[in-house]
Amino acid sequence: MSMPTDQFRVDGRAAIVTAASRGIGAECAATLAAAGADVLIAARDEDALASVAERVQEHGRRAVTVSGDLTDLDHLVSLVDRAVSAFGRLDVVVNNLGGALPRPFLDTKARHLESAFHMNVSTAFELTRAATPHLLESGHGSVVNITSAMGRLRDRGYSVYATVKGALAHLTRQLAADLAPRVRVNAVAPGSVETEALGSVLNDEMRATMISMTPMRRLGRPEDIALAVLYLASDASSYMTGKVLEVDGGIEAPNLPLGLPDL
Q: Is the pLDDT of residue 1 over 90?
A: no
Give the phi and the psi of residue 58 in degrees, each rounded to 5: -60, -25
> What pLDDT, on a 0 to 100 scale, did the predictor assign at position 129?
98
Q: Is 158 one of the catalytic residues?
A: no
Architecture of domain 8-243: 3-Layer(aba) Sandwich (3.40)
197 — pLDDT class (breaks 50, 70, 90): confident
CA distance 63 to 83: 10
Residue 200 has pLDDT above 90, yes or no: no
How much is the pLDDT for 80? 98
Give helix 161-179 / helix 110-117 axis angle, nearest 10°. Answer: 30
Q: Is the pLDDT of residue 69 over 90?
A: yes
CA-based Rg of the chain, rounded to a whole angstrom?
Answer: 18
Q: Give domain limits for the chain.
A: 8-243
Q: What is the pLDDT of residue 42?
A: 98
Has residue 199 got a pLDDT over 90?
no
Chain segment 240-258, per-residue pLDDT in tens: 999 999 999 999 999 988 8
The enclosing H or E element of 166 equals: helix 161-179
* Per-residue pLDDT, 83: 98
How much is the pLDDT for 196? 83
Q: Which of 158, 161, 231, 239 is catalytic?
A: 161
H or E element that contains 14: strand 14-18
**For the segment 35-61, what is each residue's pLDDT rounded down to a tens digit?**
999 999 999 999 999 999 999 999 999
> What is the value of pTM for the model shown?
0.96
Cα(121)–Cα(128) distance, integer angstroms: 11
93 HSE (CA, 13 A, CB side): 32
- State whether residue 93 is helix, strand or coil: strand
- Average pLDDT of the chain? 96
Residue 123 has pLDDT above 80, yes or no: yes
